[in-house]
Amino acid sequence: MSYSKPMLSLEQTQHAMSVMIAKATQEPDRPVTIAIVDDLGNILSFARMDRCRPGPQKMAMRKAYTCAVSGQDSKDYAERLKGQGRTVAEMGDPMLAAVQGGVAVLDPETGSIMGGIGVSGLAAQEDEDIAKMGLQALGL
Protein backbone atom coordinates (compact mmCIF):
# COMPACT_ATOMS: atom_id res chain seq x y z
CA MET A 1 0.00 0.00 0.00
CA SER A 2 1.27 3.47 -0.77
CA TYR A 3 0.08 6.88 0.18
CA SER A 4 0.44 10.22 -1.44
CA LYS A 5 -0.79 13.56 -0.30
CA PRO A 6 -0.94 16.87 -2.10
CA MET A 7 1.49 19.46 -0.80
CA LEU A 8 2.11 23.14 -1.40
CA SER A 9 5.32 23.93 -3.27
CA LEU A 10 7.76 26.71 -2.55
CA GLU A 11 6.88 28.26 -5.90
CA GLN A 12 3.16 28.28 -5.06
CA THR A 13 3.63 29.78 -1.61
CA GLN A 14 6.06 32.44 -2.86
CA HIS A 15 3.67 33.45 -5.62
CA ALA A 16 0.72 33.63 -3.21
CA MET A 17 2.79 35.67 -0.77
CA SER A 18 3.83 38.07 -3.55
CA VAL A 19 0.19 38.64 -4.55
CA MET A 20 -0.89 39.28 -0.96
CA ILE A 21 2.03 41.60 -0.23
CA ALA A 22 1.37 43.56 -3.43
CA LYS A 23 -2.20 44.15 -2.25
CA ALA A 24 -1.26 44.96 1.35
CA THR A 25 1.54 47.38 0.47
CA GLN A 26 -0.84 49.53 -1.54
CA GLU A 27 -1.56 51.03 1.89
CA PRO A 28 1.85 51.00 3.63
CA ASP A 29 0.50 52.92 6.62
CA ARG A 30 -1.79 49.93 7.40
CA PRO A 31 0.73 47.11 8.01
CA VAL A 32 -0.20 43.44 8.09
CA THR A 33 1.48 40.14 8.78
CA ILE A 34 0.86 37.12 6.55
CA ALA A 35 1.57 33.46 7.29
CA ILE A 36 1.22 30.37 5.10
CA VAL A 37 1.47 26.96 6.79
CA ASP A 38 1.36 23.34 5.67
CA ASP A 39 -1.27 20.77 6.68
CA LEU A 40 0.33 20.32 10.12
CA GLY A 41 0.55 24.04 10.81
CA ASN A 42 4.27 24.31 10.10
CA ILE A 43 5.39 27.59 8.57
CA LEU A 44 5.99 27.65 4.82
CA SER A 45 6.15 31.42 4.27
CA PHE A 46 5.92 34.46 6.53
CA ALA A 47 5.98 38.20 5.89
CA ARG A 48 5.64 41.13 8.24
CA MET A 49 5.25 44.62 6.87
CA ASP A 50 7.37 47.35 8.42
CA ARG A 51 5.97 48.69 11.70
CA CYS A 52 3.45 45.88 12.12
CA ARG A 53 2.67 45.48 15.81
CA PRO A 54 3.48 42.25 17.72
CA GLY A 55 -0.19 41.23 18.12
CA PRO A 56 -0.90 40.76 14.40
CA GLN A 57 2.42 38.93 13.97
CA LYS A 58 1.28 36.22 16.38
CA MET A 59 -2.32 36.24 15.22
CA ALA A 60 -1.47 35.65 11.53
CA MET A 61 0.34 32.45 12.55
CA ARG A 62 -2.53 31.37 14.79
CA LYS A 63 -5.14 31.98 12.08
CA ALA A 64 -3.15 29.99 9.49
CA TYR A 65 -2.56 27.17 12.00
CA THR A 66 -6.25 27.03 12.94
CA CYS A 67 -7.25 26.66 9.30
CA ALA A 68 -4.69 23.92 8.72
CA VAL A 69 -5.64 21.79 11.71
CA SER A 70 -9.41 22.34 11.45
CA GLY A 71 -9.73 22.28 7.67
CA GLN A 72 -12.01 25.32 7.87
CA ASP A 73 -11.68 29.04 7.35
CA SER A 74 -11.08 30.64 10.75
CA LYS A 75 -14.40 32.53 10.59
CA ASP A 76 -16.27 29.25 10.02
CA TYR A 77 -14.32 27.60 12.84
CA ALA A 78 -15.33 30.43 15.18
CA GLU A 79 -18.98 30.13 14.14
CA ARG A 80 -18.92 26.36 14.65
CA LEU A 81 -17.57 26.75 18.18
CA LYS A 82 -20.12 29.44 18.98
CA GLY A 83 -22.92 27.23 17.64
CA GLN A 84 -21.76 24.46 19.98
CA GLY A 85 -21.62 26.86 22.92
CA ARG A 86 -17.89 26.26 23.22
CA THR A 87 -14.84 28.49 23.38
CA VAL A 88 -11.47 28.11 21.74
CA ALA A 89 -9.91 27.81 25.22
CA GLU A 90 -11.76 24.51 25.72
CA MET A 91 -9.88 22.97 22.79
CA GLY A 92 -6.67 22.84 24.82
CA ASP A 93 -4.47 24.23 22.05
CA PRO A 94 -3.20 27.78 22.64
CA MET A 95 -2.38 28.17 18.93
CA LEU A 96 -6.04 27.97 17.87
CA ALA A 97 -7.76 31.26 17.04
CA ALA A 98 -11.50 31.63 16.60
CA VAL A 99 -11.36 34.88 14.63
CA GLN A 100 -11.85 35.86 10.99
CA GLY A 101 -8.86 36.33 8.69
CA GLY A 102 -7.65 32.85 7.87
CA VAL A 103 -8.50 30.52 5.00
CA ALA A 104 -8.03 26.79 4.69
CA VAL A 105 -6.11 25.45 1.71
CA LEU A 106 -7.84 22.29 0.47
CA ASP A 107 -6.96 20.03 -2.44
CA PRO A 108 -9.68 20.64 -5.06
CA GLU A 109 -9.74 16.96 -6.10
CA THR A 110 -9.72 15.16 -2.76
CA GLY A 111 -10.72 17.87 -0.31
CA SER A 112 -7.71 16.97 1.84
CA ILE A 113 -6.12 19.74 3.87
CA MET A 114 -2.97 21.20 2.33
CA GLY A 115 -2.47 24.10 4.75
CA GLY A 116 -3.74 27.49 5.78
CA ILE A 117 -3.20 31.19 5.16
CA GLY A 118 -3.54 33.75 7.93
CA VAL A 119 -3.54 37.53 7.63
CA SER A 120 -3.71 39.94 10.55
CA GLY A 121 -3.45 43.67 11.08
CA LEU A 122 -6.52 45.14 9.38
CA ALA A 123 -10.26 44.76 9.95
CA ALA A 124 -11.28 41.10 10.02
CA GLN A 125 -12.99 41.14 6.61
CA GLU A 126 -10.00 42.89 5.03
CA ASP A 127 -7.66 40.27 6.50
CA GLU A 128 -9.84 37.51 5.05
CA ASP A 129 -10.05 39.21 1.64
CA ILE A 130 -6.26 39.33 1.38
CA ALA A 131 -5.99 35.69 2.49
CA LYS A 132 -8.50 34.69 -0.20
CA MET A 133 -6.36 36.48 -2.80
CA GLY A 134 -3.46 34.31 -1.67
CA LEU A 135 -5.59 31.18 -1.87
CA GLN A 136 -6.56 32.01 -5.43
CA ALA A 137 -2.92 32.74 -6.31
CA LEU A 138 -1.91 29.22 -5.25
CA GLY A 139 -3.51 28.07 -8.51
CA LEU A 140 -5.24 24.99 -7.11
Count of other CB atoms within 10 angstroms of residue 34: 30
Q: What is the pLDDT of residue 33?
A: 98
Q: Is residue 101 in some structural domain?
A: yes
pTM of the model: 0.96
How many residues are present in the chain? 140
What range defines the domain where residue 95 resides?
Answer: 10-137
Which tens digit of pLDDT belongs to each residue from 57-76?
999 999 999 999 999 999 99
In a domain, 2, yes or no: no
What is the model's pLDDT at position 2? 85
How deeply is 32 buried, as exposed, middle or buried, from its count of CB atoms within 10 A (0-12, 13-18, 19+)?
Answer: buried
Asked whether the beta carbons of 119 and 130 are under 8 A apart, the reply is: yes
Identify whether 1 is part of a domain: no
Instruction: List the CATH number of the domain containing 45.
Output: 3.30.450.150
Could you tell me if residue 5 is inside a domain? no
Q: Report how many domains make up the chain.
A: 1
Contact present, 63 and 102 (Cβ < 8 Å)? yes
Q: Is residue 25 a part of any domain in this protein?
A: yes
Q: What is the mean pLDDT of each run of 10 residues along the chain (140 residues)?
A: 91 98 96 98 97 96 98 97 95 96 97 97 98 98
